[in-house]
A = this chain, B = another copy of it.
Amino acid sequence: MNPKERFLNACRQKPVDRPPVWMMRQAGRYLPEYRAIRKNHPTLEMMKNPDIACEITLQPVDLVKVDAAILYSDILIVPEAMGLKLDFVKDHGPVFDQAVRSTEALFRLNRRDVPERCPFVFETIKKIKQKLPQDFPLLGFAGAPFTVGAYMVGGDGSYEGNEIKKLAFQNRHLFRQLMEKLTHATIDYLKAQVSAGVDAVQLFDTWAGTLNAQDYEELALPYTREILKAINETGTPTILYIKGGSHLFSKMLQSQAQVISIDWRLSLSEAKQMAQGSVAIQGNFDPAHLYLPIPKIEEAVRKMFEDWGTGPGYIINLGHGITPDVSVENAKAFIDYAKQHGATTLS
């Protein structure tokens, strides 16, 4: 079974020889080869240069032997293409030149030609496809509107997504307009990724975990569903991830995602039981467990497998991005063990 079949079959809950394994933020700072590039280039430049972005995307495939590549980019490329000026500030994260909190600010944002305004993304995808073996899967991704909106309304990501909730509760009309604009832009953006060649897409809704179930259903789920529905029509598998979203899992089942990616706050067994075979599950290794000595990492992976039990529709992953200070050796131990023993989760 080749890697692409393995990954797509896992997404579709079809038979595999073993579950595929990859890591969120696998193309990142824990790799010395990534840090070497980063030393000479600002983050945004690395994303906008297809040669560099391609090289970074392929690093974990070569160095850690993950089972899928994921495009090196950022969820905030969409608002950048809509007209905001984005910067990545060291030790702080992404910052925009302005906070979008008025009809005027919203009106100034483009949404019709988002893919044309970030051609580097699709050039990168094409380059990656040329370099990767044809039978190796490449994932694309985007941020869900609630989360991308949280950064746009906040100006930066600080204060726990409070500003986007404030907007939703103080000016529901403007909030909806922003969400709708982002929804349309994100559909165009992800469709363009599919056209450029990605084999599956993941939608990240990081800040949605700050909502209660009812607010999630009103403020985030409808937009997520509209996007996933549009991508499902292309036949490309979709994965939905919410950090700290254990309390939203039953709502996420209504999103039309084919795969739900969970963190360690929800056990695989609970998720599987709630899903009742309606979606595949991705997750849920706590990246902090990569700090453990290697035999303990292996034990923790074994426990995760036991928690899954048996059956198809499982993609092994972390529950959140790998942290920059994890050793490559430990990351490799996770991947190796998952590959060698993952088949025990099949039957």
Q: Are A291 and B169 in contact (CB under 8 A)?
A: yes
Q: Please tell me if A292 contacts chain B, counting CB pairs below 8 Å.
A: yes
Q: What B residues does A209 contact at CB under 8 A? A: 244, 265
Bits for A308-347, please: 1 = Cβ < 8 Å to B, else 0: 0000000000000001010000000000000000000000
* 26 CB < 8 A contacts A-B: A159-B323, A162-B288, A162-B323, A165-B286, A165-B288, A166-B288, A166-B291, A169-B288, A169-B289, A169-B291, A169-B292, A169-B296, A170-B291, A170-B292, A209-B244, A209-B265, A212-B264, A212-B265, A212-B267, A212-B286, A213-B267, A244-B244, A246-B246, A246-B247, A247-B265, A247-B266
Dominant secondary structure of chain A at its interface with chain B: helix
Q: B165, B212, B286: which contacts A291 (Cβ < 8 A)?
A: B165
9 new A-B pairs (CB below 8 Å) besides A209-B265, A212-B265? A162-B288, A166-B288, A166-B291, A169-B289, A213-B267, A244-B244, A246-B246, A247-B247, A247-B265
Bits for A233-268, please: 1 = Cβ < 8 Å to B, else 0: 000000000001011000000000000000011110
Q: How far is the CB of A229 from chain B (nearest CB, A)?
A: 26
Beta-carbon contacts under 8 Å, A149-205 to B: 159, 162, 165-166, 169-170
Q: Please tell me if A215 contacts chain B, counting CB pairs below 8 Å.
A: yes
- Inter-chain CA distance A24–B267, complex, in Å, is 30
Q: Name the CB-closest residue of B to A246.
A: B247
Q: What B residues does A246 contact at CB under 8 A? A: 246-247
- Inter-chain CA distance A291–B170, complex, in Å, is 6
Q: What B residues does A162 contact at CB under 8 A? A: 288, 323
- Inter-chain CA distance A289–B168, complex, in Å, is 10
Q: What B residues does A212 contact at CB under 8 A? A: 264-265, 267, 286
Q: Are B286 and A325 in contact (CB under 8 A)?
A: no
- Inter-chain CA distance A166–B322, complex, in Å, is 13
Beta-carbon contacts under 8 Å, A257-315 to B: 264-267, 286, 288-289, 291-292, 296
